[in-house]
């Protein structure tokens, strides 16, 4: 922009803004005072797909952003989404965030953050566009795999160490998508309405924790509207809540193309505009960045005197703070890319996140199907996901991974150590694509055989094998766990259900292994003895899966969301289209607080819960079925026994013993349940958890401290968290439907 060459007078000679030891706010004010109007306007919006300028004249560098959240995205062209074609921009692909959440281990989240932060740093990035903490409200949400599940407490506990890990590298986390971007269907237009209680109790806690405990340096506005106003310039969300109530001092970054109104952007708390005019290939290519809502249109308003510069200065302050914390951070080091340590981190996180959902015996005389015994000489692997490269695809989190070990490769390598033979047959054909923004997997997955031919081959092979491993699920193609489009069905696609049934008939010694970021229908569940939820695990997918299947690592992942038998068993699908995907762009969260296990816990009640809140009436009909697998569920190859709990003051202790013959980790979960609450409340809510490792026979006492805030609910009338006096039961267990230990407070 050829503007603002007039320098502001009275600037001190000492360049305080360049002194990293000077207090942050002094540096910010010093830099601000030196900037021209044009420089201020320039610094608050993008200059390319993923960068925004600094102040070249003052030696203040700009910002480089990158997706996020599972690895560092390939470089794209300046003004286009297409990859730039660099040869040095491959990354380590880490497991998706659903897997991270399934570790239930904050130490893994910290390791994740550190590792991905180092990769961002090495690639010269200042802002990592992640992590995502939108709540799992419907299993159809195409982006659930990028988030941390259904529970606000679990998401909060996991997001904080992730952010700390990233930011200790001098790279900002950009927590997204603030807020209520809980579906992809209509994400650019839908208007979400919900009660303040649901907002504060379910949908905001992870963002609040990210800001207050994680001290996130930036946050990304969502695409959707809330109370009729777009999230990227939503006054209540950004000004009242984020800055006012939470004291956020970082920068609010728009989602790419999420800005649509200059006045609102000026007044409602947005700091940095990115991705407007994102179709760089066609419209506005020459001057698109000047045409941004917070570029010339803003400047012209100032020059016409329609708006002052107070809001602008605040935005510039927030952006400068972000630059000082990241691009100008003298301690940030240089990072590293695709190191052995990162590979090990990716594998460890996947090892801890894979969930053993079910593990029975093929017949009365046999041992459980998993771990695969060394006497299984012939292993049959069936299914497209055993070979499909899954790091490419799914939307903005698509990666150009340096390598990706497929499940089949991992199994082959490990089986060779047992001297076992591995045969692979395709079983079904799903998605044969393998390209995203010019990054290709290089795989040719085309197969012209009919489903009948593929099934026949698989069934015949199954009859001859000692063990059958079916590896399927979803795959990040459109409508199969991908950004921009929700799933169209709860069922697994491509005839997998029929194939699984046919395989189970041919050979009972079978494990079903599903790669997905979402729950799905399991009509075959009773027919198969063993089921593993294996997510999308990035570069180390095959190694981690083999670790679990062969028992080199004892599974310890637990579900971060509830798996119900049918779509109709989810609360957001109880109200026709009004609650999902919306009618005439209006989505009403009619299930209110009753999301995930807060809903499935109502199973067995005879009557609906009826109440009014925020002037609206709610009717919560109990689900017709109980979960197939509850929130928090996950098995191990060993067994654990929880003993009695005791309460001393505000400390609850519980005994746990490893009663099996292997070292293993268990997740002890503490839920708080009000006995006779004065207001409507979920049956119980997760308020603490701990992952403990025990040797065979080892026992230990695990202690939790009960804090006042574990008992509170959000009183919308008072606009405050309040404690309902009365009796509370504390349930302790290893899943939302397995809480054998109870004490009363």
273/737 with CB nearer ligand BGC: 273
Distance CA 156, CA 202 (A): 11
Site string for ligand BGC, 14-53 (x = CB under 6 A): ----------------------------------------
Residue 145 sits in the site that holds ligand BGC (CB under 6 A): no
E strands, 493-573, in order? 510-515, 530-533
Beta carbon of residue 290, minimum distance to ligand BGC (angstroms, whole number): 21
Closer residue to ligand BGC, CB minimum distance, 439 or 467: 439
Exposed e or buried b per residue across 513-524, where buried means at least 16 C-beta atoms within 10 angstroms of its C-beta = bbbbbbbbbbeb
Question: The tokens of 504 are what?
Answer: 């189970």
Q: How far is the CB of 67 from ligand BGC (least distance, A)?
A: 5
Q: Token pair for residue 616?
A: 């609206």
**Of 356-415, which residues contact ligand BGC (CB under 6 A)?**
396
640-648 vs 229-230, strand pairing mode = unpaired
Residue 252, SS3 per DSSP: strand
Distance from C-alpha of 545 to C-alpha of 183, rounded to nearest angstrom? 29
Q: Which residues within the stretch 448-477 sit at the binding site for ligand BGC (CB under 6 A)?
A: none
Cα-based distances in Å from 110 to 178, 211, 414, 647, 690: 22, 16, 29, 31, 15
Residue in 32, 129, 171, 694 binding ligand BGC, rule: CB under 6 A? 129
Q: What is the DSSP string of 126-164?
A: SEE---B------TT-TTGGGS--S-HHHHHHHHHHHHH
- Least gap, CB of 256 to ligand BGC (angstroms): 4
* Catalytic-role residue among 67, 151, 185, 255: 255
Quote the Cα angle for 253-538-471, to 5°. Answer: 130
Closest approach, Cβ 273 to ligand BGC, in A, equals 13
Shortest CB 623 distance to ligand BGC, Å: 31
Nearer to ligand BGC, 62 or 371 (CB): 62
Q: Least distance from C-beta 137 to ligand BGC, angstroms?
A: 17
Q: Could you give the CA distance from residue 680 to residue 612 in angstroms, rounded to a whole number?
A: 10
Identify whether the C-beta of residue 233 lies closer than 8 Å to the C-beta of residue 221: yes
Taking the C-alpha atoms of residue 736 and residue 677, their distance in angstroms, rounded to an integer, is 20
CB of 142 to ligand BGC, least distance (A): 11
Considering the complex, state which of residue 69 and residue 410 has its C-beta at the smaller distance from ligand BGC: 69
What is the rounded distance in angstroms from the CA atom of residue 253 to the CA atom of residue 129?
10
Binding mask 690-729 for ligand BGC (x = CB under 6 A): ----------------------------------------
d(CA 690, CA 256): 37
Whose Cβ is closer to ligand BGC: residue 68's or residue 529's? 68
Q: Do the bridges between strand 435-436 and strand 510-515 make them parallel or antiparallel, or are there none, so unpaired?
A: unpaired
Nearest to 590 by CA among 572, 606, 607: 572
User: DSSP code of 76?
Assistant: B
Q: Answer whether the bond into residue 432 is a cis peptide, omega within 30°.
A: no
Show the site string, 54-73: x = touches ligand BGC by CB under 6 A, - = not. Answer: -------------xx-----
Q: Which of 176, 321, 487, 590 binds ligand BGC (CB under 6 A)?
A: 176
Question: String of b and e for 266-281 (b: at least 16 CB within 10 Å)?
Answer: bebbbbbbbbbbbebe
Number of alpha carbons in the 13 Å side-chain half-sphere of residue 708: 3
Site string for ligand BGC, 216-255 (x = CB under 6 A): ---------------------------------------x
Q: Are strands 251-253 and 218-221 parallel, antiparallel or unpaired?
A: parallel
Q: How many CA atoms lie within 13 A of 91 on its CB side?
A: 34
Question: Which residue shows structure tokens 């979920």?
Answer: 682
Residue 130 or 622 having the CB closest to ligand BGC: 130
Q: How far is the CB of 65 from ligand BGC (least distance, A)?
A: 8
Question: Least distance in Å: CB of 129 to ligand BGC?
Answer: 4
Closest to ligand BGC by CB, 78 or 611: 78
Q: Which is nearer to ligand BGC, 144 or 636 (CB)?
A: 144
b or e along 234-248 (b: 16 or more beta carbons within 10 Å of the residue's beta carbon)? beebbbebbbeebeb
Burial readout 186-223 (b: 16 or more C-beta within 10 A, e: otherwise): bbeebbbbbbebbbbbbbbbbbbbbbeebbbbbbbbbb
What is the x/- site pattern for ligand BGC, positions 84-123, by CB under 6 A? ----------------------------------------
Q: Which is nearer to ligand BGC, 67 or 404 (CB)?
A: 67
Count of residues engaged in binding ligand BGC, rule: CB under 6 A: 7
d(CA 617, CA 274): 39
List CB contacts of 427: < 8 A, sequence separation 6 or more: 382, 383, 384, 454, 455, 457, 458, 470, 472, 499, 503
Shortest Cβ 396–ligand BGC spacing (Å): 4
Per-residue x/- mask for ligand BGC, residues 648 to 677, rule CB under 6 A? ------------------------------
Residue 194 Cβ, how far from ligand BGC at the closest point, in Å? 21
CB-nearer residue toward ligand BGC: 536 or 599: 536
Catalytic, 661? Answer no
Work out how close the CB of 255 gets to ligand BGC at its nearest, in angstroms, rounded to a whole number.
Answer: 5
> Within positions 251 to 270, which residues make up the interface with ligand BGC, using CB under 6 A?
255-256
Instruction: Decide whether 27 or 70 has the Cβ nearer to ligand BGC.
Output: 70
Query: 211: cis peptide before it, omega within 30°?
Result: no
Nearest CB to ligand BGC, comparing residues 122 and 223: 223
What amino acid positions are annotated as catalytic residues? Answer: 255
Residues that bind ligand BGC (CB under 6 A): 67-68, 129, 176, 255-256, 396
């Amino acid at each position: 922009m050829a503007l603002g060459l007039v320098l502001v007078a009275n600037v001190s000679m000492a360049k305080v803004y360049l002194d990293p030891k000077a207090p942050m706010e002094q540096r910010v004010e010093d830099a601000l005072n030196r900037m021209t109007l044009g420089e201020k306007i320039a610094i608050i919006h993008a200059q390319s797909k993923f960068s925004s300028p600094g102040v070249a004249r003052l030696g203040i560098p700009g910002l480089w952003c990158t997706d996020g959240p599972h690895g560092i995205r390939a470089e794209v062209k300046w003004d286009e989404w297409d990859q730039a074609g660099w040869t040095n921009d491959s990354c380590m692909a880490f497991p998706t965030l659903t897997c991270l959440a399934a570790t239930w281990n904050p130490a893994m989240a910290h390791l994740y953050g550190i590792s991905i932060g180092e990769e961002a740093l090495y690639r010269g990035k200042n802002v990592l566009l992640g992590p995502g903490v939108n709540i799992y409200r419907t299993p159809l949400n195409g982006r659930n795999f990028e988030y941390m599940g259904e529970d606000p407490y679990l998401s909060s506990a996991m997001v904080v160490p992730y952010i700390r890990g990233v930011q200790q590298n001098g790279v900002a986390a950009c927590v997204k998508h603030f807020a209520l971007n809980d579906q992809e269907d209509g994400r650019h237009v839908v208007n979400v309405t919900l009660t303040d209680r649901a907002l504060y109790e379910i949908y905001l806690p992870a963002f609040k924790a990210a800001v207050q405990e994680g001290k996130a340096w930036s946050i990304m506005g969502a695409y959707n509207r809330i109370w009729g106003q777009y999230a990227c310039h939503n006054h209540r969300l950004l000004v009242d809540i984020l800055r006012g109530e939470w004291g956020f001092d970082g920068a609010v970054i728009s989602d790419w193309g999420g800005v649509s109104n200059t006045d609102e952007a000026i007044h409602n708390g947005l700091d940095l505009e990115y991705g407007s005019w994102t179709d760089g290939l066609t419209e506005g290519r020459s001057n698109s960045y000047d045409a941004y809502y917070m570029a010339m249109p803003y400047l012209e308003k100032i020059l016409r005197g329609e708006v002052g510069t107070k809001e602008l200065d605040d935005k510039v302050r927030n952006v400068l703070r972000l630059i000082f914390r990241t691009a100008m951070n003298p301690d940030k080091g240089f990072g590293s890319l695709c190191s052995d340590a990162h590979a090990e981190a990716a594998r460890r996180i996947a090892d801890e996140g894979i969930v053993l959902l079910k593990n029975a015996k093929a017949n009365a005389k046999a041992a459980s199907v998993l771990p695969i015994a060394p006497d299984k000489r012939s292993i049959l692997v069936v299914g497209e996901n055993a070979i499909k490269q899954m790091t490419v695809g799914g939307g903005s989190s698509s990666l150009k991974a340096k390598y990706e070990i497929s499940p089949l490769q991992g199994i082959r390598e490990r089986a060779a150590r047992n001297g076992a033979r591995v045969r692979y047959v395709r079983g079904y054909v799903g998605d044969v694509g393998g390209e995203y923004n010019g990054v290709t997997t290089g795989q040719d997955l085309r197969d012209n055989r009919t489903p009948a031919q593929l099934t026949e081959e698989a069934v015949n092979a199954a009859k001859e094998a000692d063990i059958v491993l079916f590896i399927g699920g979803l795959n990040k193609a459109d409508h199969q766990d991908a950004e921009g489009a929700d799933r169209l069905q709860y069922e697994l696609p491509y005839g997998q259900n029929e194939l699984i049934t046919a395989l189970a008939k041919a050979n009972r010694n079978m494990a079903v292994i599903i790669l997905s970021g979402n729950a799905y229908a399991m009509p075959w569940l009773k027919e198969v003895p063993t089921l593993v939820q294996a997510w999308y695990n990035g570069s180390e997918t095959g190694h981690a899966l083999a670790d679990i299947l062969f028992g080199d690592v004892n599974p310890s992942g637990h579900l971060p969301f509830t798996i119900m038998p049918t779509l109709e068993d989810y609360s957001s699908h109880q109200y026709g289209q009004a609650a999902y995907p919306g009618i005439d762009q209006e989505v009403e969260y009619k299930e209110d607080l009753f999301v995930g296990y807060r809903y499935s816990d109502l199973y067995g009640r005879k009557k609906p819960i009826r109440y009014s809140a925020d002037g609206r009436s709610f009717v919560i009909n109990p689900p017709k079925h109980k979960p197939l697998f509850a929130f928090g569920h996950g098995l191990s190859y060993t067994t654990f026994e929880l003993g009695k709990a005791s309460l001393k003051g505000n400390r609850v202790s519980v005994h746990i013993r490893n009663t099996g013959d292997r070292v293993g980790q268990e997740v002890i979960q503490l839920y708080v349940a009000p006995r006779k609450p004065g207001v409507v409340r979920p049956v119980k809510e997760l308020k603490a958890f701990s992952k403990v490792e025990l040797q065979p026979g080892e026992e230990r006492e695990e202690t939790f401290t009960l804090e006042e805030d574990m008992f509170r609910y959000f009183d919308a009338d008072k606009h405050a968290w309040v404690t309902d006096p009365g009796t509370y039961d504390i349930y302790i267990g290893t899943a939302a439907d397995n809480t054998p230990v109870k004490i009363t407070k």
